[in-house]
Structure 1
Amino acid sequence: MKKFIALFSVLSFLFGCNSPADKKTKDKLPRVAIAGIGIESSTFSPATTDEAAFHARIGDSIFGRYHFFADTTSIRQRAEWIPTVLGKSIPGGIVTREAYESLVEKTLKMLEANAPYDGLFFDIHGAMSVQGIPDAEGDLIKRIREVVGPEVMISTSMDLHGNVSYDLAKHSDLITCYRMAPHEDALESKQRAITNLLDRLESGKGKPAYKAYVPVPILLPGEKTSTRIEPGKSLYAKVPDVADEDGVIDAAIWIGYAWADELRNHAVVMTYGDDEEAVKKGAEYLANSFWEVRNQFEFVAPTATLDESLAKALSSNKKPFMISDMGDNPTAGGAGDVTWTLNELLKRPEFKKENGPSTIYASLPGPDLIEKALVVGVGKRVKGMVGAQVDDRFAPPIELEGTITAIKEGDRDAEVEVVVKVGSIHVIVTKKRKPYHHKKDFTDLQLDPENSDIVVVKIGYLVPELYDMRSDWIMALTPGGVDQDLERLGYQNIKRPMFPLDADMETPNLKAQLIPLANQ
């Protein structure tokens, strides 16, 4: 039935059929605000995140983040949009209280100035940690509610590695998250959150009658829960079937975020809709499905120590052999400047000669070396300090000396990038930290990753372009703020028992809790 209704709506739009919803939309478009602050923050990293890292967009510039907001799209035409503040940072350390309060104040002022609203699209990651606030997104949405009022329908879009606290669930009328890891469906999920919101506003049905919430005491790293492999692949394949049930609007499974030590950090399942039984049944089905396969989760690729990983790479005839430097992955919340892995590479005799195995290391921040490189230029020798300005727990800063092969200025995140060749290793040094996820990130620096022997990247599971590029791949169990060995992290605040930290725990109560509407 739901699929038939959806098909009818599409045909009506294409052929200009005038349904009551069409007439209502033409007569008075709903007023919908856009707001959000998004980051994935490791509390196990000594790094902190300031306001500049969020590159906040204000007003109409926000539309540029979403292809489906082009002027000619039906979504753009279905509402009167009021974009306020949208700040998105690459993952990092805990957000300073000053940065958070500044972004929140700007958001609330714009929301207050442009009120009233019928709806609000709340675009967050869900794993933001803020100094002195144990549930940042819960705090943010409550403060937004105080401004926009309890009747406004809020549709929340999240990363599946976000955390859904009770407060976030209560104040979100509609809530969804990605269904793929890596997150190839990120924009599709945001569009679903907006479409669900518009459908409810245009139909006059209002907020869903029922929201089911099931905390699942599982906390796993993303590298073990990829939807590329089982059991994540089959588990997430169940979500659309539940969401498509009559009486259900949407359904979602959150893996949660493993590298923050907060009470809200655990898996969650939510469903919502107008049929109480269907909503509860769907949530409990997904939660029990998750619990039943908890012991089957494994790393998405082979793992080994760095020495073992290098031995495999050096003995391989496949190009490129990719090594994930996982412990300091900046796209999971690592500081991105741990020097331990590069230090180990530079010690190896295989890489000391220029004609050794061609290797790329991406990357380390090194403002000192960057400054000196800009003075001498490409083709010259340079010596400067790199790394360990933030996280020096595992190795000290490195005095890197080599030949500059490329300099690039103007990057959004790195600002300045310099490639320094040391022996047979091309080391990418940045002014500020940057993840290297795309072929263009390398080729813009005159590097050829596809024909290099070894590519070492600060990352966990490979994002699509790197995954497609690899000939072979291993994930190295390296140290850092997003250590994959959760036992070494030393949690103090998460709720116990928690799988897999308490592997022999009893089966938990996975009955759905019905959460009241925000205006109740």
Structure 2
Amino acid sequence: MKIAVGGFQHETNTFAPSKADFQAFAKGGAWPALSRGAEVFEVLAGVNLPCAGFIEEARAGGHQLVPLSWAAATPSAHVTTDAFERIAGQILEDLKAASGLDGLYLDLHGAMVTERHEDGEGELLRRIRDLVGPDLPLVVSLDLHANVTPAMVELSDALVAYRTYPHVDMAVTGGRAYRLLATLMGGRKLAKARRALPFLIPLTSGCSLIEPAQSLYDSLGERESLPGVASLSFSAGFSPADIWHCGPSVVAYGEDPAATARAAAELEQAVLAEEAAFAGTIMSAEQAVAHAIAVSGKARRPVVLADTQDNPGAGGNGDTVGLLAELVRQRAPRAVIGLIFDPVAAERAHAAGEGATLEIGLGAHSGLAGHAPLQGAYRVKKLGDGKFECTGPFYRGARMALGPMALLELGGVEVAVASKKAQLADREMLRHLGVDPEDRGIVAVKSSVHFRADFQPIAEQVVVAAAPGPNPVDHLQLDYRLLRPGVRLMPSGPLSTGPKA
């Protein structure tokens, strides 16, 4: 059969300091740059992304694939109107030119907010349905952190979300989406059921390597194997998105409407039963560094600190220096931190050369209130061009293009600096600068959970640190103004009072 494939991914933190313009998609970075037509197949080959998994399985099934466009940008604040209209326009233009389609697959995130649309995916799907009509089978893969809206469910035939966080199953999810689309193209119809959950889940406690998320996600295969049920997804939601439909949800599909609704309701109750366990605990930067120093002095493996509140994977700019300052203040031995996003510092390091000393203020260029660069005499230890291929489970196959990079040192602490934003979720990001993380006592990463896929196996301990940053773990620190009423801002916490003027 003839299937059109494309993708448009963005995870929008509406509280973040900078927006995603067209160049953010066009230039790429951690993920491939905007591609169109046959180039889509080339840039996604071998990468752990849903569209790559879909393409591989659809080709194995003997189908003819029509590539549209594929685009992704590092999480940030809103997608600009210009970026959304240009990329959505490309997808619609090429879809209009494709004739005789039997199906359509889209690789979306599920938490895109644009300058004009709270529900970016819903708006894109509305335009696509206006073009192709209601009958063309349309399946969408979603991130585990999708804020699934009623429009997304209504305008697609099936939504399929990741089941791991770190997202090591992205390509696998694309394969699951293909199998559902094949079912629909074979003429079978699927009933739908969506249940929205009434509390927000902090990113750090939604990790599928720890409880309660681990058992919930592990149960999905068994739950969807029941008679009459074809697919079941639990999306944890993306909490730093101030929109009406922000929050976790359950979506089910099946040939038996009653069984499908029952599966969704039972999973909803299972999640609600674990609400209190999703609250989690974290340390302050001072506590986390002191703890890491104490543990690393007796351990053979590194302690890994997660600088979660400035995670570029959740909309942070990766340029706050609170945790770095604490590492320096406490004279943390054999410590490295990254990636600090500071293209000016990287440029100056390259101009000065390895071995030079730079008097600079590092980081804090986003203009966040209360943040200032960390002044000091930084020694340039190693330089890199930012081009390398990742090998860890999350970023597997991703061909990085992070611009000029530098390994600096301040007060005995090493600092990995990059010219483009990316969360440190793969050991190759440090190896590119001559750092073997296994040889360090403390490794601090600007990431919330994805780092665990590659770093947890080498870690003595993993500690989440609440250093100052734009993505607070405690949602009570966020000024929600559009969230619907009746949603608990933290597990078992106070309720949202609804939209504010």
For these two proteins, the number of residue pairs brought into alignment is: 466
Instruction: Please give the secondary structure, in 1, of the residue aligned with 2:78.
Output: strand
Change (3 A) 1:77 1:276: closer
Q: How far apart are the structure 2 equivalents of 1:235 and 1:77?
A: 31
Q: 1:150 aligns with which of 126, 130, 134?
A: 134
Q: Contact conserved, 2:161 with 2:235, CA < 8 A, in 1?
A: yes
Q: 1:471 aligns with which of 443, 460, 463?
A: 460
Instruction: Please give the secondary structure, in 2, of the residue aligned with 1:296.
Output: helix
Aligned to 1:13: none
Q: Contact conserved, 2:224 with 2:231, CA < 8 A, in 1?
A: yes
Aligned to 2:382: 406
Aligned to 2:13: 42
Q: How far apart are the structure 2 equivalents of 1:490 and 1:146?
A: 36
TM-superposed CA distance for 1:371, in Å, is 2.1
Aligned to 1:340: 322
* Alignment RMSD: 2.1
TM-superposed CA distance for 1:266, in Å, is 1.4
Aligned to 1:432: 420
TM-score (norm 2): 0.88
Instruction: Please give the secondary structure, in 2, of the residue aligned with 1:95.
Output: coil
Q: 1:309 aligns with which of 264, 268, 288?
A: 288
State whether structure 2 residue 84 is matched by structure 1 residue 100: yes
Q: Contact conserved, 2:53 with 2:170, CA < 8 A, in 1?
A: no
Aligned to 1:452: 440
Instruction: Please give the secondary structure, in 1, of the residue aligned with 2:313.
Output: coil
Q: 1:482 aligns with which of 471, 484, 487?
A: 471
State whether structure 2 residue 238 is matched by structure 1 residue 257: yes
Aligned to 1:216: 197
Uncovered stretches (5+) of structure 2, i.e. residues with no partner: 26-32, 47-51, 388-399, 496-501
Q: How far apart are the structure 2 equivalents of 1:229 and 1:480?
A: 24
1:304 maps to amino acid? M
CA offsets 1:9-63 (integer angstroms, 9 cap, x no match):
xxxxxxxxxxxxxxxxxxxxx2111122112111111211122222212122222
Q: How far apart are the structure 1 equivalents of 2:125 and 2:237?
A: 18
State whether structure 2 residue 187 is matched by structure 1 residue 204: yes
Q: 2:38 aligns with which of 56, 60, 79?
A: 60
Q: Contact conserved, 1:32 with 1:81, CA < 8 A, in 2?
A: yes
Change (3 A) 1:185 1:148: same
Q: How far apart are the structure 2 equivalents of 1:327 and 1:89?
A: 19
Q: How far apart are the structure 2 equivalents of 1:350 and 1:505?
A: 39
1:178 maps to amino acid? Y
Instruction: Please give the secondary structure, in 2, of the residue aligned with 1:218.
Output: coil
Aligned to 1:172: 156
Q: How far apart are the structure 2 equivalents of 1:175 and 1:124?
A: 10
Structure with the greater alpha carbon radius of gyration: 1
Change (3 A) 1:390 1:246: same
Aligned to 2:487: 498
Uncovered stretches (5+) of structure 1, i.e. residues with no partner: 1-29, 352-356, 507-520
Q: How far apart are the structure 1 equivalents of 2:199 and 2:492?
A: 10
TM-superposed CA distance for 1:324, in Å, is 0.9
TM-score (norm 1): 0.85
CA offsets 1:376-409 (integer angstroms, 9 cap, x no match):
2112222334322224323112344322111111
2:448 maps to amino acid? G
Instruction: Please give the secondary structure, in 2, of the residue aligned with 1:248.
Output: coil
Aligned to 1:3: none
Instruction: Please give the secondary structure, in 1, of the residue aligned with 2:472.
Output: coil
Q: Contact conserved, 1:413 with 1:434, CA < 8 A, in 2?
A: no
1:41 maps to amino acid? T
State whether structure 2 residue 216 is matched by structure 1 residue 235: yes
Q: Is the deviation greater in 440-449 or in 368-377?
A: 368-377
Q: How far apart are the structure 1 equivalents of 2:12 and 2:360?
A: 29
CA offsets 1:39-90 (integer angstroms, 9 cap, x no match):
2111111211122222212122222425466998663443211111110222
